[in-house]
């Protein structure tokens, strides 16, 4: 397959399809061949349904549909009718979806074609993407390193050129972190904007559906298709439909961008900080005003998040844990046992802390339009690395990689990770932009301004040198 098609933006592929420069069947087949060639190394796909996709593509010849013939793939937590949903676990070995999840249904209605189901940390429990059942996704820039997680396959599929865009879920950074590690754009929309109906839950309070794409414009186009109220999702918020790509080229002039005084720039790789400084200078040069902001005390945010995650996960898994408990991975069962021992008052108190975080964060957004942070404090760690050392402090890998992202799952603000350069170790570096509720268009607009600057562009991975680890 031509590399230029494997790594083309959805916008470009739509242009080629519209002008009959390529047909839907041909495009799907090209991706199918590529999955066949690279899945052994990438481990991106759990279930490859590209043969089915080729037949669907035949029916899309000459279609006028917005995404007609665009091949995508979803994390294996999203139901796709007639296809297994494993959630990256043996527990769901016999679970075949009888209908599409809402997001997949909306994309298919727009003409997109599902290539298959993508690898993930078991039941989205963990940010490293390590999976004992289906293998751990490799990073396309260095296969000795992780792609990140929990939406590991969603990032790996894009970085290896195995789909035009992907869906993932983000409970503490599980879209933004792997997107950052693999040089992709990762969008976590406002809580409730994109329905979670038909997506295997991990933690209802913190779960968000997210998008990974090659470009900010693609992410905006995809969001325009999948956002919107769904009565079947109790967390869905009814807001007017929007074209999120409409004002993307308007730049950042006049915007006030908050720079956190503490926490988000602490215990961070020096080179990452240097890249973020370059982004700050660029935004100022473009007419944005940088404003120091003070977030609430972050020292207990992980505790608050865990105190909500584990009881909710236990509740979500109670039936299967009873019936198929032995099929769960050891680490996930241990986490669920923690959920069993958290008291109801502690859980409620944690949710009250979330209310406080939201109040204090909304106060910050009265003074600024956006907040800028590094997306992660470190580059992609090595496969199997349980702890990382940053500024002389050892930290569990899963904690470290989500340190800057988890907070915004609790507040529910929209957040994007967007590439801003390459680390000297040959891995992508990204910034995170966060906005007010339902102001995805503004977050994406500023992300697009960064993306448009060639200085922040990153090279494609060189797959010729990759070997199965």
Residue numbers annotated as active site: 75, 150, 174
Please, which residue, 160 or 438, has the CB nearer to another protein?
438
Q: Which positions from 280 to 309 touch another protein by CB under 8 A, shown as an x/- string?
A: --------------------x-xxx-xx--
Site membership for another protein, residue 335 (CB under 8 A) = yes
Give the whole-angstrom CA distance, residue 409 versus residue 83. 29
- Residue 218 to residue 70: CA distance in whole angstroms: 12
x-or-dash pattern for another protein, window 172-211, by CB under 8 A? Answer: ------------------xxx------------x------
Query: Which residues 6+ apart lie within 8 Å of 102 measured at CB?
Result: 195, 196, 197, 198, 226, 230, 232, 233
Given 18, 356, 382, 455, the residue binding another protein (CB under 8 A): 356
**Residues 6 or more apart whose Cβ sits within 8 Å of residue 187:** 175, 210, 211, 212, 213, 219, 223, 414, 415, 416, 440, 444
Residues 373-432 that bind another protein (CB under 8 A): 386-387, 396, 398-399, 410, 412
| Per-position DSSP letters for 400-464, written without gaps between them | HHTTTTTHHHHH---EEEEEEEE-TTS-EEEEEEEESTT-HHHHHHHHHHHHHSGGG--PPP-GG
Place of tokens 């994007």: 416
Q: Does the protein bind another protein through residue 352 (CB under 8 A)?
A: yes
Question: What minimum distance in Å lies between the beta carbon of 323 and another protein?
Answer: 11
Out of 246, 341, 393, 457, name the contact with another protein by CB under 8 A.
341
**Min dist. Cβ of residue 153 to another protein (A):** 20
How many CB atoms within 10 Å of residue 462?
10
The distance of closest approach from Cβ of residue 395 to another protein in the complex, given in angstroms and rounded to an integer, is 11
Q: DSSP string covering 224-249, please? A: HHH-S--TT-TT--------TTTTGG
Stretch that binds another protein, among 3-11, 158-166, 247-255, 435-443 (CB under 8 A): 435-443
> Is-contact 82 97, C-beta < 8 A?
yes
Q: Which is nearer to another protein, 239 or 273 (CB)?
A: 239
Strand order of the β-sheet with 256-260 is: 45-48, 113-118, 71-75, 165-170, 208-213, 185-188, 415-422, 428-435, 370-374, 256-260, 289-293
Select from 106, 436, 445, 448 the one that contacts another protein (CB under 8 A): 436
Which residue, 62 or 325, is less far from another protein as judged by CB? 325
Exposed, middle or buried: residue 119 (CB in 10 Å: 0-12, 13-18, 19+)? buried
Residue from 31, 165, 353, 404 touching another protein (CB under 8 A): that is 353
Pick out residues in 87-146 that bind another protein (CB under 8 A). 126
Choose the binding region for another protein from 138-146, 194-202, 232-240, 270-278 (rule: CB under 8 A).
232-240
Instruction: Record the tokens describing residue 288, joined without a space.
Output: 């944005």
Of 5 and 314, which has the nearer Cβ to another protein?
A: 314
Nearer residue to another protein within complex by CB, 307 or 405: 307
**Residue 109 vs 351, nearer CB to another protein:** 351
- Does 348 bind another protein (CB under 8 A)? Our answer is yes
Does the footprint of another protein cover residue 256 (CB under 8 A)?
Answer: no
Min dist CB 365 to another protein, Å, is 5
Output 187 or 321, the one with its CB closest to another protein. Answer: 321
Q: Is 331 in the site for another protein (CB under 8 A)?
A: yes
Please report where in the chains the tokens 């879920």 appear, as a residue.
169
β-pair partners for 257: 290, 370
Question: How far out from the chain centre does Cα 410 lie?
Answer: 16
Chosen residue from 437, 442, 444, 448 binding another protein by CB under 8 A: 437
End-to-end C-alpha distance for the chain, whole angstroms: 23
Tell which residue, 436, 425, 437, 432, has the closest CA to residue 450. Answer: 432
350 scored as a contact of another protein (CB under 8 A): yes
Cα–Cα distance measured from residue 220 to residue 213, given in angstroms and rounded to the nearest whole number: 9
**Site residue total, another protein (CB under 8 A):** 57
Residues that bind another protein (CB under 8 A): 126, 190-192, 205, 235, 237, 239, 300, 302-304, 306-307, 310, 314, 318, 321-322, 325, 330-331, 333-338, 340-342, 346, 348-356, 358-359, 362, 365-366, 386-387, 396, 398-399, 410, 412, 436-439
């Amino acid at each position: 397959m031509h590399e230029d098609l494997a790594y083309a933006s959805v916008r470009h592929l739509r242009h080629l399809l519209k002008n009959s420069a390529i047909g839907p069947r041909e495009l799907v087949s090209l991706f199918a061949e590529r999955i066949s060639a690279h899945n052994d190394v990438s481990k991106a796909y759990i279930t490859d349904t590209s043969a089915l996709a080729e037949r669907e593509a035949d029916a899309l010849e000459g279609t006028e549909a917005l995404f007609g013939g665009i091949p995508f793939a979803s994390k294996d937590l999203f139901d796709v009718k007639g296809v297994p949903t494993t959630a990256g676990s043996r527990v769901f070995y016999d679970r075949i979806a009888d209908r599409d999840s809402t997001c997949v249904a909306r994309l298919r209605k727009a003409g997109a074609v599902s290539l298959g189901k993508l690898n993930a940390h078991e039941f989205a429990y963990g940010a490293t993407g390590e999976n004992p059942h289906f293998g751990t996704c490799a990073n396309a820039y260095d296969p000795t390193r992780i792609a990140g997680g929990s939406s590991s396959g969603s990032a790996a599929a894009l970085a290896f050129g195995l789909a035009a865009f992907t869906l993932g879920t983000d409970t503490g950074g599980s879209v933004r972190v792997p997107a950052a590690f693999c040089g992709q754009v990762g969008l976590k929309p406002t809580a409730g904007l994109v329905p979670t109906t038909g997506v295997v839950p991990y933690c209802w309070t913190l779960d968000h559906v997210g998008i990974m794409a090659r470009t900010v414009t693609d992410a905006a186009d995809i969001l325009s298709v999948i956002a919107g109220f769904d009565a079947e999702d109790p967390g869905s918020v009814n807001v007017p439909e929007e074209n999120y790509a409409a004002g993307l080229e308007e730049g950042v002039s006049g915007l006030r961008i908050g720079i956190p005084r503490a926490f988000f720039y602490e215990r961070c790789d020096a080179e990452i900080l240097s890249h973020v400084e370059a982004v700050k200078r660029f935004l100022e040069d473009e007419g944005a005003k940088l404003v120091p902001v003070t977030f609430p005390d972050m020292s207990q945010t992980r505790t608050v998040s865990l105190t909500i995650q584990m009881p909710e996960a236990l509740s979500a898994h109670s039936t299967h844990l009873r019936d198929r408990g032995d099929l769960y991975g050891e680490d996930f069962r241990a986490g669920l046992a923690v959920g069993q021992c958290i008291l109801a008052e502690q859980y409620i108190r944690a949710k009250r802390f979330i209310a406080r975080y939201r109040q204090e964060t909304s106060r910050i957004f009265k003074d600024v339009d956006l907040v800028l942070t590094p997306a992660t404090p470190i580059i992609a760690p090595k496969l199997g690395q349980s702890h990382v050392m940053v500024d002389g402090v050892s930290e569990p890998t899963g904690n470290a990689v989500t340190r800057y992202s988890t907070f915004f799952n609790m507040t529910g603000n929209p957040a994007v990770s967007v590439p801003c350069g390459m680390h000297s170790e040959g891995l992508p570096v990204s910034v995170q932009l966060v906005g007010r509720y339902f102001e995805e268009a503004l977050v994406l607009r500023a992300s697009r301004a960064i993306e448009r600057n060639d200085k922040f562009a990153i090279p494609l991975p060189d797959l010729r040198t990759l070997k199965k680890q």
